[in-house]
Amino acid sequence: MIILSYLVVGAIAFAFILFSKSHKAMNAFFILHTLAFLAIGLYALLTTGVPAFENGSKYFYVDHLSIYEVLIAALLFFLASVYANGYVESLMQAQELHKNNLKIFYTVFSLLLTTVTLAFFSDNLALFWIFAELTTVFSAALVAILSAKENIDAAIKYIFIASGAMLFSFIGLIFLYTLSGEVLGSGTLNWTVLVENAALFSPKTLTASFVFLFIGFAAKSGVFPFHTWLPDAHSKAPSAVSAILSGVLLNIGMYGILRMYAVVRQTQAENLVSQFLLGFGLLTIAVAVLNMLLQKNLKMLIAFSSVEHMGVLLLGIGIGTPLALFWTLFYVLAHSLTKASLFFSAGILHRQYESNLIQDIRDVFSLQPIAGWGFVIGSFAIVGMPPFPIFSAKFFILLEAFGFSKSLVLAVLLLLVIASTAFARFLIEAFTRSSKKAGTEDLETPVFPYVVRNGMKFPIISIILMILALGFFFPEPLENLLNEIVYELGYL
């Protein structure tokens, strides 16, 4: 019933957006779409008995992990849709978004939400693969929607790297299918069956199929060395889309890796695979922070920070203890929210200065106080300062890693310090610059503040309130939910 209601709501929202004439109407229907998805998710979580299969078929499976991811996705889409109301209006006024593309923007955005949701609920891994592929295609269309050459270049790069790597994932699926066929008699790609019988599988072939699957999922999450598309796509996309790309779409790849790791960890391959994940996690963090350090482009900085955080998530998965998993899951939520607020603030700053470059930013706090403070607080939160939730998540993940390898923890800590330095450097250089102090620049025409439109401040303020709340209190329902997930993945 849950999947069916998602599909029906998705189809209705799609139709309404398709037939509406004005921007206001399209935006309103899209907001309703996201709210309806949030409501269905909450309803499913609170009232229905999960984990359960959908409609008796084995294709879709609703458990706490999928509901958790879907709720995060729906929440971020809701915030992005509210933000889009004013933001898209500005883009059209600046003639960056052509009005003929407006309908494509909203219909594809709505389709993206529906496919993301279906991807998380897929039990059959081939089905998950196909929905994940579709999310790549739809989100690439959103990156290209501004039709400037650099946007189309970024979108093309994104499609070819992510989709090409996903083909290797499919080879992994074929391996897995054959492997399960050898052991169980008939081949299956249903995650629930695989995780039940994982202990019977040959570790060697399971590792091979994990590595192939990892290539695709890693490319989708922007893990080194498949991350090269990410900074371009995330920084060139309209900010409302960037928030979704970083906050939701990266989670899809991580979700795939997590599900597969839950299968692999029951066999003797666990050790090898977890070292594999730790290695890639560390490399990803290292490459990202080195790119962040001297970064001159605001959105590039945020995009590389996403790469860094995917590295931390890989570490969390690779450590493989129940506590590490618990905090990794919490980290996903904290990162998605914080990253969205950064992109939303960056979007306002980009409207103000019509540039993302460090040298064009000045007088931030007098021109754009909300976006300025939003970015400052968001930066503190994203580098993991207390009391923000990423701090506790990072702290406990590294604490668990300590039992694994001390040198690993030290290396990661060093890299995290560099990441903080990168943000600090950017903030000090860009946000303290004032045009009044520099004597000669007084002659320039004064900069007028960009009038922030409806709905663009609300997402930033509400996210900051949310992450502050999450930093101070750990809500009990959330704790129970995360514990359920850890239990259902077979960690306890």
Partner 1 sequence: MISSFLADPAFLENIIRILFVFVLITAAFTLSTRNIASLLTVYTIQSLMLVLISMSLYMIEGSQTLLAIAALTLVSKVLLIPIFINLIGEKIKISRDLKFNYLEPTASLLVSMGLILLAYVFLSGFFDEFILGKLFFMGAVIGLSLTLMGMLVIFSRKKVITKVIGYLTMENGVLLFGIFVADLPFIIEILIVIDLMILVLLTTILAIGLDSTREEYHQRLHTLKIWSGGEDQ
Q: Between residues 85 and 209, which has the closer beta carbon with respect to partner 1?
A: 209
CB of 92 to partner 1, least distance (A): 10
CB of 18 to partner 1, least distance (A): 15
CB of 47 to partner 1, least distance (A): 31
Q: Between residues 223 and 466, which has the closer beta carbon with respect to partner 1?
A: 223
Distance CA 197, CA 175 (A): 16
CB of 435 to partner 1, least distance (A): 31
Contacts of 50 (CB under 8 A, 6+ apart): 44, 62, 63, 64, 67
CB of 204 to partner 1, least distance (A): 7
CA 57 to chain centre: 29
Token code pair at residue 243 = 């928030």
Q: Between residues 256 and 374, which has the closer beta carbon with respect to partner 1?
A: 256
Q: What angle do CA 417, 419, 424 make, to 5 degrees?
A: 90
Distance CA 353, CA 283 (A): 34
CB of 438 to partner 1, least distance (A): 34
- DSSP 8-state symbol, 53: E
Q: Between residues 208 and 358, which has the closer beta carbon with respect to partner 1?
A: 208
Q: Between residues 31 and 146, which has the closer beta carbon with respect to partner 1?
A: 146
Q: Between residues 141 and 346, which has the closer beta carbon with respect to partner 1?
A: 141
CB of 305 to partner 1, least distance (A): 27
Contacts with partner 1 by CB under 8 A lie at 95-98, 100-101, 104, 126-127, 130, 133-134, 137, 140-141, 144-149, 152-153, 155-156, 159-160, 163-164, 167-168, 170-171, 174-175, 177-178, 181-182, 187, 202, 204-205, 208
CB of 137 to partner 1, least distance (A): 5
Q: Is the dihedral of CA 279, 281, 284, 287 positive or negative?
A: negative
CB of 102 to partner 1, least distance (A): 10
CB of 209 to partner 1, least distance (A): 9
**Which amino acid is residue 252, in one-letter code?**
I
Three-state secondary structure along 160-180? HHHHHHHHHHHHHHHHHHHHH
Q: Between residues 181 and 403, which has the closer beta carbon with respect to partner 1?
A: 181
CB of 129 to partner 1, least distance (A): 9
Q: Between residues 28 and 152, which has the closer beta carbon with respect to partner 1?
A: 152
Q: Between residues 182 and 442, which has the closer beta carbon with respect to partner 1?
A: 182
Q: What angle do CA 377, 358, 146 make, to 5 degrees?
A: 90
CA 222 to chain centre: 10
Q: What DSSP letter does each residue of 67-136 carry, written as one string?
A: HHHHHHHHHHHHHHHHHHHHHHHHHHHTTSS-GGGHHHHHHHHHHHHHHHHHHHHB-BHHHHHHHHHHHH
Q: What angle do CA 472, 478, 479 make, to 5 degrees?
A: 85
Cis peptide bond upstream of 387, omega within 30: yes
Q: Between residues 78 and 121, which has the closer beta carbon with respect to partner 1?
A: 121
Under 8 Å between Cβ of 390 and 331: yes
Q: Which of 152, 310, 287 is nearest to 220 (CA)?
A: 310
Distance CA 247, CA 483 (A): 22
Q: Between residues 188 and 392, which has the closer beta carbon with respect to partner 1?
A: 188
Three-state secondary structure along 202-265? CHHHHHHHHHHHHHHHHHHHCCCCCCCHHHHHHHHCCHHHHHHHHHHHHHHHHHHHHHHHHHHC
Q: Is the dihedral of CA 185, 188, 193, 196 positive or negative?
A: positive
